[in-house]
């Protein structure tokens, strides 16, 4: 079962907890072995908000140059898990993260990890387009500037906007406020901003939920384009979207206890084709076919 290429960057010894105590079946078919190196190895990740466990015991691998989708009903913790990858949960004071996310073999939650350095390697796109209240140009330039970018900023801004599929629409008004753009354009600006710092990974938290179908389509095309250079993890409520764009899909669900506490867990993680055609778990099938959620 273990999808370990010989050059697998992280080291999971014999005491690998997933081998001992596993709730989740991670069944990666043969043909995916070569699809990409494992970039993130999430191992037994749990997140608490105060005394309440938001997500419990998540284990999955995210592969390079693939789009990994997190789907599941509201409250199942998929956004919480996504925000663990760039340590965004640090902003929530009561949040505690257990377990590990190995990135190039380094545990992002290990001691002496600089969260700022982590975030520079992971671009993030949020649910609601959130450009800075500044010019289009400054929106792109801010990240590289603070990262100490020394090259030609104009070129970098142009390239980022081209990659964000926005250049042709904004090239004559780079000094205009980003707020003057439409919602779809703002979101593409946010994607361009996220990749301007040349990250390894782009994390997307329901990037199309505030957009109309045409804008959504453009973003999806863009994602397919971007995965050549980046690894993408996307949280989405839209199952068709997951089916259309992603290579692998993780299906989360939520367990409601008698006390009303809601804890998310990973039900199934597999290639998107398999999740949507012959899922191994009944819960997944019910969700996919619309019988639940």
Partner 1 sequence: MNAATMRIAPEAVARALTTRRRDVKGTVFTAVLVATLVAAMAVLATLLFTVITGSLPVWRSRGVGEFVTSQMSADPEVAGIWQAFYGSLLLMGFTAVIALPTGVGAAIYLEEYASDTRFTRIVNANIRNLAGVPSIVYGLLGLAIFVKLLGGITGPDVEGRSVIAGGLTLGILVLPIVIITTAEALRAVPTSIREAAIGVGATPWQTIRHHILPVAAPGIFTGTILSLGRAFGEAAPLLLVGGITTFFSTGDSGLIETLQGRFSAMPVLVFSWSRLPQGGFRALTAALIVIMLLVLLLINGAAIYLRNRFEKGVSS
Shortest distance in whole angstroms from residue 205 CB to partner 1: 10
- In terms of phi and psi (left: phi > 0; alpha: psi -120 to 50; beta: otherwise), the region of 280 is alpha
Spell out the residues 6+ positions from residue 249 whose beta carbon is closer than 8 angstroms to its own.
68, 69, 70, 71, 242, 243, 269, 270, 271, 272, 275, 276
Q: Which stretch binds partner 1 (CB under 8 A): 33-41, 47-55, 129-137, 256-264?
A: 129-137
Helix (H, G, I), strand (E, B) or coil at 104: coil
- Would you count residue 167 as binding partner 1 (CB under 8 A)? no
Q: Kindly state the helix (H) or strand (E) to which residue 259 belongs, with its residue range.
A: none
The residue from 54, 181, 190, 233 that contacts partner 1 (CB under 8 A) is 190
The residues facing 122 across adjacent strands are 201
d(CA 115, CA 122): 11
Q: Which region, judged by CB under 8 A, interacts with partner 1, from 45-53, 111-119, 208-216, 217-225?
A: 111-119
Choose the binding region for partner 1 from 3-11, 37-45, 67-75, 189-197 (rule: CB under 8 A).
Answer: 189-197
Check if the beta carbon of residue 74 is closer than 8 Å to that of residue 287. Answer: no
194 binds partner 1 (CB under 8 A): yes
Return the number of the residue (29 or 133) whose C-beta is nearest partner 1.
133
Q: Should residue 142 be labelled a site residue for partner 1 when binding is judged by CB under 8 A?
A: yes
Rounded (to 5) percent helix, strand, coil in the chain:
35, 25, 40
Of 103-111, 174-182, 262-270, 272-280, the window that binds partner 1 (rule: CB under 8 A) is 174-182
CA–CA distance, 212 with 38 (Å, rounded to integer): 34
Answer for which of 33, 117, 154, 225 binds partner 1 (CB under 8 A) is 117
Q: Is residue 82 involved in binding partner 1 (CB under 8 A)?
A: no
Q: At 143, list the tokens.
A: 């990240």
78 contributes a contact to partner 1 by CB under 8 A: no
Please give the Cα distance from 67 to 233 (Å, whole number): 6
Minimal distance in Å, beta carbon 169 to partner 1?
19
The rounded distance, in Å, linking the Cα atoms of 217 and 242 is 12
Site map (CB under 8 A) of partner 1, residues 272-291, x = contact: --------------------
Interface with partner 1 (CB under 8 A): 86, 88, 91, 93, 116-117, 119-120, 123-124, 126, 128, 130-133, 135, 142-143, 146-147, 176-177, 179, 190, 193-194, 196-197
């Amino acid at each position: 079962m273990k999808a370990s290429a010989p050059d697998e960057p992280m080291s999971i010894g014999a005491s690998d907890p997933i081998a001992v105590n596993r709730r989740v079946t991670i069944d990666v078919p043969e043909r995916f072995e070569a699809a990409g190196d494992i970039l993130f190895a999430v191992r037994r990740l749990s997140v608490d908000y105060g005394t309440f466990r938001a997500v419990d015991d998540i284990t999955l691998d995210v592969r390079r140059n693939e789009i990994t989708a997190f789907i599941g009903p509201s409250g199942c913790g998929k956004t919480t898990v996504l925000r663990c990858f760039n340590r965004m949960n640090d902003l929530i004071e009561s949040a505690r993260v257990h377990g590990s996310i190995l990135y190039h073999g380094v545990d992002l939650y290990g001691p002496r990890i600089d969260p700022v350095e982590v975030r520079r390697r992971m671009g993030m796109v949020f649910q609601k387009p959130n450009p800075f209240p500044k010019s289009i140009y400054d929106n792109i330039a801010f990240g590289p500037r603070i990262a100490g970018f020394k090259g030609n900023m104009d070129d970098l801004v142009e390239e980022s906007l081209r990659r964000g599929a926005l250049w042709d629409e904004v090239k004559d008004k780079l000094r205009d406020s980003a707020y003057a753009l439409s919602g779809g354009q703002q979101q593409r600006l946010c994607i361009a901003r996220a990749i301007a710092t040349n990250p390894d990974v782009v994390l997307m938290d329901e990037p199309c939920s505030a957009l109309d179908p045409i804008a959504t389509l453009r973003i999806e095309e863009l994602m397919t384009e971007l995965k050549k250079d980046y690894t993408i993890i996307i949280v989405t409520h839209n199952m068709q979207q997951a089916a259309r764009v992603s290579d692998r899909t993780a299906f989360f669900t939520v367990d409601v206890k008698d006390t009303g506490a809601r804890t998310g867990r990973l039900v199934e993680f597999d290639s998107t084709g398999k999740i949507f055609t012959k899922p191994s778990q009944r819960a997944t099938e019910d969700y996919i076919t619309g019988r639940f959620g």
